[in-house]
Amino acid sequence: MEKSQSAVRKAETIRTVVRKEGREFPIEGFCDPKFAPVREAFETNYRVEEEVGSCASVVVDGAPVVDLWGGFKDEACTKPWERDTIVCVMSVTKGVAAITFNSLLDRGLVELDAPVAKYWPEFAQAGKEKLPVRYILDHRAGLPIITEDLPRGSIFDWKAMTGALARQKPLWEPGTKAGYHVENQGFLLGEITRRVTGKTLPVVYTEEIGRPLGLDFQIGGLSEADQARCAEVIPNYKGTLLSAVIDAPQSMLAQTWKTWPEGTHGQVINSPQWRTAEISSGNGHGAARAIARLYGAMARGGEVDGIRILSEAAVKQMTTEQHNMVEVMMGRSYHQALGVLLNSPPIVWMGPNPKAFGHHGVGGSLGMGDREAKLGFCYAVNRWHPLPDNGPRARRLIEAIYRCL
């Protein structure tokens, strides 16, 4: 659980109920009176959206000012979402992994423009001898899918996935196009991390970031006790990147899922295999307060409560735009930085500051920071919305936050 954090401002303890269509959704937590509109927005999501369970947290200048959770952990609405409930935040994980990897750059263990093959010699195959680390972080490597015919379930086989990526020829000349590496970014960054440190990326995260900051967030490796705390993820195919499986089964995006085991995505994401595997691009589990605290540290130049995660120079480098291409997997325009995104409306809207940064997850979850406002924010949800963007739930919360600042 979290260590002692910056002194919590005078806050109102929340314990209420939102009623909708004959069902009562419990809401708990705390909220600084100045941020009452955020509480109201959180409750409104249950009144007007298809919310089942969620949590949201706001950190300003290192101090938590909002920490709310509500609804239910399960689709049947029988298990209330509790303070220690954790949920899979999907690609919000990429932002946490990016901060972790940027800490390796910060310490000089990895060079941004060095060839990946300098650290991972087997990667120097099929024309990838000079492919730089930078292109892994900004999705220009040309390796968004596995083209080799691997067995179903290979996503849980680290050696199979990294071996195939090492052998594979890029789908385009690296650097010339962007294509969202939905799952593969985690394997690529993870293997570089393993070769450089001798540790997995999740272990580096835990030792260097998660434990020092007291974050209730993990990338894979969940114990049985932690799995018992997990909210049930309730996917939605319509409107999300999963829709390609049904609407365009021959598309490049649909091929992303061919390494997954048989079964529905919900069955996979809620399985013990998913919760314990190393998939640093998608299977982070945690509470919103953990991700908000991490981004809150980044928004303060990499430090909070005397604990420095990145140097100010490293934060600046991580949040410097690399390109603003339309990525080829889903045709979305991203202001792409080094592993994190910059504010990229309409797909990833992060408030009025174009320099806000973070990462979204399929279905509506979002973690973000704003250095000008010294803001860290996270919204995490179990029921996905049928949209390719942040959606109205996160937007309603973000709009309320900025009205309060």
**Which residue has 């052998």 as its token pair?**
167
Task: Identify the pLDDT of residue 241.
Answer: 66
Task: Count Cβ atoms within 10 A of the Cβ of residue 84 and give its class: 0-12 exposed, 13-18 middle, 19 or more buried.
Answer: exposed
Least confident of 9-23, 116-130, 210-224, 232-246: 232-246
Q: What is the pTM of this model?
A: 0.96
CATH number of 12-99+207-404: 3.40.710.10
* Active-site choice (54, 91, 103, 281): 91
243 is catalytic: no
* pLDDT tens digits along 135-174: 999 999 999 999 999 999 999 999 999 999 999 999 999 9
Q: Is the confidence at residue 240, as pLDDT, over 90?
A: no
**Which residue has 């919360």 as its token pair?**
397
Task: Identify the pLDDT of residue 10.
Answer: 58
Least confident of 1-10, 150-159, 198-207: 1-10
For every residue of 120-189, DSSP letters joined together read: -GGG--TT-TT-BHHHHHTT-SS-SS--S-PPTTGGG-HHHHHHHHHHPPPSS-TTS-----TTHHHHHH
Share the mean pLDDT of the chain: 94
* pLDDT tens digits along 323-377: 999 999 988 899 999 999 999 999 999 999 999 999 999 999 999 999 999 999 9
Query: How much is the average pLDDT of 75-92?
Result: 98
Q: Where are the domains of the chain?
A: 12-99+207-404
